[in-house]
A and B are shown apart, each in its own frame.
Chain A
Amino acid sequence: MLFRKTLKKSPWIVHYDCNSCNGCDIEILATLTPVYDVERFGIINVGNPKHADILVVSGSVNHRNARVLKTIYDQMPHPKAVVAIGACACSGGIFKECYNTLGGADTVIPVDVYVPGCAPRPEAIMEGILKAAQLLEEKKKNIKKGEILNVAKS
C-alpha cells in the first residue's frame, strides 16, 4: 500500500524556544531555509501545535516556561514526538545546576530524540527530526495496540 506509512513522510514541526541563546535557535531557523530545503522530506514548520507532529525544543527549562512547554505538548494530537536541540535542551547544559533551572526538556515532557551540540549543525537537527518522524510510525502502532502512551512527568 502506497499510503500506509505516511506519518514519517510528512512530519510537521512546531518550534518552541525555552530561553535558549541565539545559537540553537538560529540553527533551527537556518535548517528551515531553502539552503537545506527540509520540505523535500515533507517537513513543514507550522506555528500551531494542533497541526504539528513533532515538537522541537531548544534551551533549558525553567520554572517560568515549563508550564508553556507542557501546554504546547498537550495541545498536539497523538501520535507526536519531541526533539531536544542542543546541550541545554538535552540536559540543562551549563545552566544545569542553576537555582532557577529545572534542567533539560525531559524534566517536563517525554523527549524522544536528543540532538547534542552547542550549537548542533543544521544537518544534525535535520537527522534528529527525521529520526523522530520514524518513531511516529511505532507510536501509531502502540496506540492501535492500546498500550499506554508516553505520560508526561508532572
Chain B
Amino acid sequence: MKEIWITLATVIVAPLVGGVVTGIDRKITARMQNRFGPPILQPFYDLFKLFSKETIVVSNTQILYAFLFLVFNIVAVVMFVLKMDLLLILFILAFATTALILGAMATNSPYSRIGAHRELISVLAYEPVLIAMTVAIYFVTGSFNIEDILKHNSFLILDLPFIFIAFSYVLTIKLRKSPFDLSTSHHGHQELVKGITTEFAGPVLGLIELGHWYELVLLLLFVWLFFAKNIFVAIAAILICYFLEIVIDNISARLTWKIMLQLTWSVAFGFALVNLIWVYIKYRLL
C-alpha cells in the first residue's frame, strides 16, 4: 500500500520538479547573457500550449513511440524512488532512448533520421560510462539494489571520485547541453532543424518534453546517490553540479560526434576505468 502512494507522489511531483528546474535553467541562462529571461513557469506554459495544439503525425507509430519514451522514463524514476535495482533502471532508461530513436526513424524525414543517428552515437558514448558507474557501485557496496547502496556507511563519492567526474561528463550528453547537444537541444540552434524531434508536433512533442523532465529528475537522483549519506550535502551537490552544466552549456560551442566519441571513450571512460580498478583492488582483492 505504501508503495502505491510513493509511486503516485513520484509520478506527480517529478514533472513539477523537472519543469521548475528547466525554468530556472532558462532564467539563469538568460541572466548570463545579460537579459531578463522568461518566467520560471515558462516550460509549463510551453507544455500546456503544445497539448492544446492540433496533432500532426507522419506515421501513427510515432505517437506510440513518444508515449513509450514517457512511460519508460516514468517507470525508471518510480523504480529509483522505490529503491529497486540500479542496473535495471539503467536498462529501462536505455529503452526510453531507444523508443525516441525508433520514433524518429519511423518517418522519412532526413533531419529526423540524422538526429536519430546522432542520438544512437551519443548512446554509444555514454552507456559504457553508466555501466561502469553501476559496476563500481556494486564493487563498493556489494549490491545493485539502491536500498542496500543507501545502507553504505560513508559517502559513495569518497570511493568513487573519478566515476563521479566521468558521470558529470556524461550528464552533459544526457541533458543535451551544449558541447554535446548533437541530436537535439531546447535552445534555438537551427542546425538539423530540430534533430530527433523534427517530425514530432503538438501534443506528441509535449509527451517527449514531459519525458525529458522525468529523465532530468532521474539524472539528478543519480547525483544524489553519490552524496546520499547527508541530505543537505546531496542537495548542495545537485545544485552545484547542475549550475556547472548550465555554465558549460553557455560557454561552449557544439562539437562534432567524432570528438564527442573520442573524448567520452578516452577521458570519461578512462576516468571510470581507473576508479573501477581502484575499487576492485580495494574491495575484492584486499
- Residues of chain A having any CB pair with chain B under 8 Å: 2-3, 6-7, 9-10, 32, 34, 37, 39-42, 44-48, 50-51, 53, 75, 77-79, 140, 143
Contact = CB atoms under 8 A, between A and B. Distances in A.
A3 B42 CA distance: 11
A47 B188 CA distance: 8
A3 B54 contact: no
Given A6-B45, A42-B42, A44-B188, A51 B194 contact: yes
Given A37-B36, A47-B188, 7 more contacts: A7-B49, A32-B188, A46-B194, A47-B190, A51-B205, A77-B54, A143-B54
Contacts, number: 81
A146 to B, nearest CB: 14
Contacts of B188: 32, 44-47
B36 A77 contact: no
B283 interface: no
Contacts of B48: 3, 6
B221 to A, nearest CB: 26
Interface string B28-41: 00100111111101
B242 interface: no
Contact of B202 (A37, A46, A77, A143): A77
Contact of A47 (B30, B53, B56, B193): B193
Contacts of B42: 9-10, 42
B155 to A, nearest CB: 39
A76 B205 CA distance: 13
Given A6-B52, A77-B56, A78-B54, A39 B38 contact: yes
A37 B30 CA distance: 9
A34 B34 CA distance: 7
B59 interface: no
Contacts of B26: 39
Contacts of A51: 194, 197, 201, 205
A3 B56 contact: no
Main secondary structure of the interface of B (DSSP, over half): loop
B33 A3 contact: no
30 contacts: A6-B45, A6-B49, A6-B52, A7-B49, A7-B52, A10-B42, A10-B45, A32-B188, A34-B34, A39-B38, A40-B38, A42-B45, A45-B190, A47-B194, A48-B193, A48-B198, A50-B198, A50-B200, A51-B194, A51-B197, A51-B201, A53-B49, A53-B53, A75-B56, A77-B54, A77-B56, A77-B201, A78-B53, A140-B52, A143-B54
A37 B53 contact: no
Contacts of B39: 40, 42
B10 to A, nearest CB: 22
B45 A9 contact: yes
Contacts of B38: 39-42
Nearest to B195: A48
A48 B38 CA distance: 21
B61 interface: no
Give 10 closest A-B pairs by Cβ, nearest first. A47-B190, A37-B35, A50-B201, A77-B54, A6-B48, A9-B45, A78-B54, A3-B48, A6-B49, A10-B46
A77 B41 CA distance: 24
Nearest to A78: B54
Contacts of A75: 56
